[in-house]
């Protein structure tokens, strides 16, 4: 059963989100030291709330997933919709409780509470709204850096704001690619997504435009002297993968493009680590 739950909450995505939050916290900590124990609570909070959102999303998307991803836990019958819903709500409450152990101010708790409500609203209705749903996911992804940085604040929050912006751009591009990949199921479910509204070709160009913008702005933390040359090297590799992901979507292979976007975003996080942590060594 545990294997099914881990698959339902998409634990790898949860871990990546938690890592992003810890990176934001580490950057802020280097500028404004506080209790290092908070980083553990930061990771746990983000991991749990992200998992809760993923499980709730699968609950509301059971019909779509039956077409687009029939192997997922709910449509495959390995877990019931009711069990997935109850697990999601329990995880939301647990994540919010853990957030009370973070920071000397209430900002992390406010972000955690706001994001939990937004995840609920997104899964229920925002996902099916043109642009708004994509922007919501983009914000939620980028906000993990802000959440970590907010625990320590100080000068480090300026860097996390830039990472938040860059992450939003890259995530928005990948979100459009994912809607292109899921267009058949979304159309049957009555969803209103960008490719359904304007067509796959135009949606592809929009995704590439945001992807290119993210690549062009990626050297910004280095140019502003927030990160060192290690960041520039690693982010250069991430940029190459981003560009290849765009090539795949231009060749009408959204599934491969989405995977490469995900790899590129992971490499970008490694670049953030290289640029911030190695800078202090």
- Per-residue model confidence as pLDDT tens digits over 8-32: 999 999 999 999 999 889 888 876 7
Give the integer Cα–Cα distance in Å for 12 and 177: 20
Q: What is the CA radius of gyration of the chain?
A: 18
Please identify which residue in the block is written with the tokens 């749990």.
Answer: 48
Of 49, 14, 11, 16, the closest CA to residue 269 belongs to 16
Give residue 187's pLDDT. Answer: 79
**pLDDT for the residue numbered 80:** 92
Q: Which of 281, 280, 214, 274 is nearest to 23 (CA)?
A: 274
pLDDT for position 114: 96
What is the reported pLDDT for 40? 94
Question: 110 in the Ramachandran plot: left (φ > 0), alpha (ψ -120 to 50) or beta?
Answer: alpha
More reliable by pLDDT, 169 or 127: 169
- Record the tokens describing residue 161, joined without a space: 């704001």
Residue with tokens 């969803």: 191
Q: Is the pLDDT of residue 157 over 80?
A: no
Tell me the pLDDT band of 115, cut-offs 50, 70 and 90.
Answer: very high
More confident residue, 159 or 264: 264
Distance (Å, whole) CA 67 – CA 201: 22
Mean pLDDT within 74-96: 94
Pair of tokens at residue 87: 């697990």
Q: Give the mean model confidence (pLDDT) for residues 25-44.
A: 85
Eight-class DSSP state of 199: -
The reported pLDDT for the residue numbered 70 is: 85
The total number of structural domains in the chain stands at: 1
> Residue 257: pLDDT above 60?
yes
Distance CA 248, CA 246 (A): 5
How confident is the model over 137-147, as pLDDT tens digits?
999 999 999 99
Report pLDDT for 57: 92
Best-predicted range by mean pLDDT (12-16, 35-39, 183-187, 193-197): 12-16
**Confidence (pLDDT) at 279:** 53
The pLDDT, as a whole number, for residue 12 is: 93
pLDDT of residue 156: 65
Mean pLDDT, residues 77-91: 94
Which range marks the domain in which residue 186 is found? Answer: 2-280
Q: What is the domain-level CATH number for residue 54?
A: 1.10.357.140
Residue 147, SS3 per DSSP: helix
Return d(Cα 173, Cα 115) in angstroms, integer: 21
Q: Residue 208 pLDDT more than 90?
A: yes
Higher per-residue confidence, 131 vs 4: 4
Residue of higher predicted confidence among 190 and 90: 90
Q: Say which DSSP state 1 is in.
A: -
């Amino acid at each position: 059963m545990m294997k099914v739950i881990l698959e339902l909450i998409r634990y790898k995505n949860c871990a990546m989100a938690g890592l992003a939050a810890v990176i934001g916290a580490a950057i802020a900590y280097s500028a404004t030291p506080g209790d290092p124990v908070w980083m553990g609570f930061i990771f746990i909070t983000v991991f749990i709330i992200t998992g809760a959102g993923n499980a709730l999303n699968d609950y509301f998307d059971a019909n779509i997933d039956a077409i687009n991803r029939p192997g997922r836990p709910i449509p495959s019958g390995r877990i019931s919709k009711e069990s997935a819903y109850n697990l999601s709500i329990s995880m939301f409450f647990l994540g919010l409780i853990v957030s009370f152990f973070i920071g000397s101010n209430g900002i992390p708790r406010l972000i955690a509470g706001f994001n939990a409500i937004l995840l609920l609203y997104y899964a229920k209705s925002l996902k099916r709204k043109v642009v708004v749903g994509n922007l919501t996911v983009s914000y939620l992804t980028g906000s993990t850096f802000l959440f970590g940085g907010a625990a320590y604040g100080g000068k480090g929050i300026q860097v996390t704001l830039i990472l938040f912006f860059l992450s939003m751009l890259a995530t928005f591009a990948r979100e459009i690619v994912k809607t292109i990949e899921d267009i058949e199921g979304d159309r049957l479910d009555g969803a209103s997504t960008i490719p359904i509204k304007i067509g796959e070709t135009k949606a592809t160009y929009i995704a590439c435009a945001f992807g290119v913008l993210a690549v062009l702005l990626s050297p910004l933390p280095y140019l502003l002297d927030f990160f060192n040359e290690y960041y520039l090297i690693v982010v250069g590799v991430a940029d190459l993968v981003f560009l290849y992901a765009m090539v795949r979507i231009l060749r009408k292979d959204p599934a491969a493009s989405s995977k490469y976007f995900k790899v590129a975003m992971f490499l970008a996080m490694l670049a953030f680590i290289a640029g911030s942590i190695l800078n202090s060594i």
